[in-house]
């Protein structure tokens, strides 16, 4: 009985938004209100999530657990970025430099580390997964795609070789299309289960 | 001078992160925690500036009494969401979460049907359009092959993700082996999934390699500037 109000809210909001796909003109005002409030709630939920992050590091710092120094660094940088962003605004040159130079440097470097990690992981693939249709398809496709990405085999589209290269380039779309359809069917089923109140991710089942 | 200082900051962070290649170490963790703190702070600023102020503060400050009344609903939901973080009032948080779940589910259903299922299924069907087959004379066999590969590949991929369940008479859920045809199609699907993941891997690897080259060039450039050669 305790869950009933939550189920009513979930089903009512879901069905109204779903009805909006068919009665756009009639429901546009209500839909815009529902979506705006949803965005606001998601934003507040995001801030609560960040609050939990800060609380976690604060607890680690207070209890002087292992890695408390790194928690202190995280908290100091977090507070500095937050206060500077709110007082100086995000358009301030110092703030822009701070975000760009730290974020871009770290993200690009992490991507660079990924190149090496990926290379070692791909070399270990057969040892860990064995010779399966998927691992064979993966290796052949990765090798051919890397060679094609280098510009090798660039021929005019009219020739047979050109057509075959174009056919190979279209081949990954087949699997991607199957994966997308599978994801959409999965999303559709989960969505319908929530809308019918059979699945309740907002509280205990 | 200003650029050089920021360049040195970028250089130090780059070296700290790249030091992970020789193993997990204190410098990598230091840079990673700076990144976590900075990103969290920036996200908080963006959430306040882009969502909280325009969707909540501005309507209250600039709107009339009618707008005020309307804003009582999201205000109530926000209060319930915040209250729900205390274990004593945990159940209060289920209403705003139910609101978000209902909204997300409806958007996901609409997106899945109108954004993915219909367009992707149509693309598979349209590959069998005879007008497309004969558009380029002498190449119709390639179009037919394209269409067949597309159909078999998509069905195979979907078959691979078939996780059938059966409820027996005593209400126990069983996972029986899929039919032989489904298993055979699943094997074909595996090849196509492998090909797709291989192509994705190649793209990500190429991008990561470009990032690695860019970082090495950046480090060289800043060091040259520091020693006065740049």
A35-70 residue pLDDT tens: 999 999 999 999 999 999 999 999 999 998 888 999
Contacts with B121 from chain A: Cβ below 8 Å? 181
Q: With H, G, I as helix, E, B as strand and everything else as coil, classify residue B24.
A: coil
Confidence of residue B230 (pLDDT cuts 50, 70, 90): low
Q: CB-based contact (8 Å) between A189 and chain B?
A: no
| Cα separation, A88 vs B38, whole angstroms | 15
Interface predicted TM-score of the whole assembly (ipTM), two decimals = 0.85
- Pairwise CB contact (< 8 Å): A203 & B113: no
Contacts with B155 from chain A: Cβ below 8 Å? 178
Does a structural domain hold residue B81?
no
Does a structural domain hold residue B60?
no
- Pairwise CB contact (< 8 Å): B110 & A195: no
The predicted-structure confidence for A114-163, as pLDDT tens digits, reads as follows: 888 888 888 887 788 788 888 889 999 999 998 888 877 666 666 777 77
Residues 6 or more apart in contact with residue B121 via CB below 8 angstroms: A181
| Cα separation, B192 vs B145, whole angstroms | 15
Does a structural domain hold residue B56?
no
Q: CB-based contact (8 Å) between B219 and chain A?
A: no
pLDDT > 90? residue B166: no
Percent of chain A with pLDDT over 90: 50
Asked if B105 contacts A202 with a C-beta cutoff of 8 angstroms, the reply is no
Confidence of residue A200 (pLDDT cuts 50, 70, 90): confident
Asked if A16 contacts A203 with a C-beta cutoff of 8 angstroms, the reply is no
Give residue B198's domain range: 127-230
pLDDT > 90? residue A166: no
* DSSP-assigned letters across all residues of B104-146: HHHHHHHIIIIIIIHHHHHHHHHTT-HHHHTSSTT-HHHHHHH
**Which residues 97-126 on chain A approach chain B with CB closer than 8 angstroms?**
97-99, 101-106, 108-116, 118-119, 122
The predicted-structure confidence for B191-207, as pLDDT tens digits, reads as follows: 999 999 999 999 999 98
Q: B24 to chain A nearest CA, in Å?
A: 12
Does a structural domain hold residue B99?
no
Number of compact structural domains in chain B: 1
| Cα separation, A73 vs A63, whole angstroms | 16
Which residues partner with A34 through β-bridges? none
Q: CB-based contact (8 Å) between B204 and chain A?
A: yes
Q: A16 to chain B nearest CA, in Å?
A: 9
Residue of A nearest to B137 (CA): A158
CA angle B99, B100, B105 (to 5 degrees): 105
Question: Mean pLDDT, to the nearest integer, of B143-147?
Answer: 86
| Cα separation, B160 vs B178, whole angstroms | 10
Q: Which of A47, A143, A175 sits opposite B47 (nearest CB)?
A: A47
Closest CA to A106 of B42, B197, B46: B42
Does a structural domain hold residue B26?
no
The pLDDT mean for chain B works out to 87
């Amino acid at each position: 009985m305790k869950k009933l109000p939550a189920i009513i809210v979930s089903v009512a909001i879901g069905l109204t938004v779903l009805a909006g796909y068919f009665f756009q003109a009639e429901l546009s005002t209500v839909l815009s209100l529902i979506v705006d409030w949803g965005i606001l709630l998601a934003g507040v939920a995001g801030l609560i999530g960040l609050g939990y992050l800060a609380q976690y590091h604060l607890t680690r710092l207070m209890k002087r657990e292992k890695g408390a120094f790194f928690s202190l660094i995280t908290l100091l940088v977090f507070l500095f970025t937050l206060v500077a962003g709110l007082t100086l605004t995000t358009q301030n040159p110092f703030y822009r430099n701070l975000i760009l130079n730290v974020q871009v440097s770290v993200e690009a470097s992490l991507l660079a580390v990924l190149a090496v990690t990926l290379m070692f992981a791909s070399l270990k693939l057969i040892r860990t997964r064995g010779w399966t249709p998927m691992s064979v398809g993966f290796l052949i496709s990765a090798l051919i795609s890397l060679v094609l990405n280098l510009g090798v085999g660039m021929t005019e589209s009219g020739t047979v070789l050109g057509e075959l290269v174009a056919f190979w380039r279209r081949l990954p779309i087949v699997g991607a299309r199957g994966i997308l359809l599978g994801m959409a069917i999965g999303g559709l089923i989960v969505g319908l289960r929530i809308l019918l109140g059979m699945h309740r991710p907002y509280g205990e089942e | 001078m200003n650029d050089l200082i920021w360049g040195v900051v970028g250089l130090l962070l780059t070296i700290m992160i790249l030091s992970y290649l020789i193993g997990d170490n204190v410098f990598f963790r230091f840079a990673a925690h700076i990144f976590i703190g900075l990103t969290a702070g920036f996200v908080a600023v963006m959430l306040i500036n882009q969502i909280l102020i325009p969707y909540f503060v501005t309507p209250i400050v600039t709107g009339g009494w009618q707008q005020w009344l309307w804003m009582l609903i999201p205000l109530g939901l926000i209060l319930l969401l915040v209250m729900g973080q205390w274990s004593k009032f945990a159940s209060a948080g289920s209403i705003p979460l139910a609101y978000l779940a209902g909204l997300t589910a409806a958007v996901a259903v609409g997106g899945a049907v109108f954004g993915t299922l219909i367009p992707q299924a149509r693309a598979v069907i349209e590959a069998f359009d005879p007008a497309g087959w004969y558009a380029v004379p002498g190449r119709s066999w390639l179009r037919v092959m394209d269409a067949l590969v597309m159909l078999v590949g998509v069905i195979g991929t979907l078959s691979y993700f078939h996780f059938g369940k059966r409820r027996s008479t005593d209400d126990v859920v069983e996972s029986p082996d899929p039919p032989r045809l489904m298993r055979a199609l699943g094997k074909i699907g595996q090849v196509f999934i492998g090909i797709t993941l291989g192509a994705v891997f190649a793209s990500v690897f190429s991008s990561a390699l470009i990032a690695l080259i860019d970082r090495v060039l950046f480090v060289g450039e800043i060091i040259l500037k520091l020693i006065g050669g740049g």
